[in-house]
Amino acid sequence: MDTAVRELSYAQAIQEAMALAMEADERVFLMGEDIGVYGGAFQVTGDLVERFGTDRVMDTPISELGGAGVAVGAAVTGMRPIFEFQFSDFATLGMEQIVNQAAKMRFMLGGEVSVPLVMRFPAGSGTGAAAQHSQSLEAWLGHVPGLKVIQPATPHDAKGLLLAAIADPDPVMIFEHKLLYKMKGPVPEGHYTVPIGKAEIRREGRDLTIVATSIMVHKALEAAETLSGEGMDIEVIDLRSIRPIDRETVIESVKKTSKLLCVYEAVKTLGIGAEVSAMIAESEAFDYLDAPIVRLGGAEMPIPYNPDLEKATVPQVPDIVSAARDLVKGVR
């Protein structure tokens, strides 16, 4: 029998994944600030506390460092915690446990333990929450061997990647763009996984490869649609995972299109765009390039409050259209 596919929001898809995992495995439980009766700051856990009780949908005090450490300790001793940071910005408070402990414990102990830990990070700008609640810090964690770092862009992937993360024996950090939570899309019922470390070609094309992450995948697809009206055939790759990163899919695409544009919301320099560009520069795809690689990323500044300023800080569809058009036409 085919699995039924319904329209769910990205937040509902995550919630469904957590509920399925908790039903299937006693060891899976949720920890975070105000994830119980409140339902989470973005209503991702919603009413799960009513189904699973406060032992398995645990409100923590506002103690990101200690809470992250408790999750690490529970993970190495047989549980499967899913820890929600209320905002990804608060990763800054938990970094010690994430970077020094979770990421390195297996290695430091010579493989004697695994750390099957999932951490969820509501990320990104666009909500008017200003500089301390709007950052995109995934590259920080992507720089740490021992962690896996993913950025689902669709409800389908949000569920499938989360279920893959829960089953994974190592710590997986999931960055969820807050503006995606309400986005709807087809989500199969029941259990399925999306592999960590595999990019997805969202739109095939011959003239240019756009490598995008998270919400920028949708903006890139919109831009590609606009440009198809001008006769341009643009390929859009949803990177999905930044550690491990899918070199093969990106390299093969660039060999086909000979042009690369990287689009991501995080601050432009020293981030995903640099990594993807270097990946191409170091590969056989370099010889296929017909134009310099272009990066579109966040401005080198904190996210401002004013909505117009806020939008101007991160790439928008017209920016992508313009950069892509110039690249295809050989303007630069």
Binding site for other proteins (CB under 8 A): 27, 29, 55, 60-61, 63, 65-79, 81, 96-97, 100-101, 105-114, 145-146, 148, 169-170
Of 144, 43, 127, 54, nearest to 91 by C-alpha is: 144
128 vs 169, which CB is nearer to other proteins?
Answer: 169
Name the minimum Å distance from CB 76 to other proteins.
6
Q: Which amino acid is at 260?
A: L
Alpha carbons 187 and 250: distance in angstroms, whole number:
26
Partners of residue 84 on adjacent β-strands: 32, 120
CA 98 from centre of chain: 17
Closest distance to other proteins from the beta carbon of 40 (Å) = 19
- Whichever of 26 and 230 has its CB closer to other proteins, that residue is 26
Minimum separation from the CB atom of position 160 to other proteins (A): 18
Percentage helix, strand, coil, to 5, in the chain?
A: 40, 20, 40
Catalytic residue among 133, 156, 177, 218: 133
- 173 membership: H or E segment, kind and range: strand 172-177
Least distance (Å) between residue 118 CB and other proteins:
14
Cα–Cα distance, 314 to 143 (Å, whole number): 22
Residue placing its CB nearer to other proteins in the complex, 70 or 291: 70
Which one from 33, 64, 84, 138 is the annotated catalytic residue?
A: 64
- Verify whether residue 64 is a known catalytic residue: yes
HSE (CB half, 13 Å, CA atoms) of 144?
Answer: 25
What does the alpha-carbon distance between residue 26 and residue 123 come to, in Å, rounded to a whole number?
A: 29
C-beta closer to other proteins: residue 74 or 216: 74
Q: Which residues are catalytic?
A: 64, 133
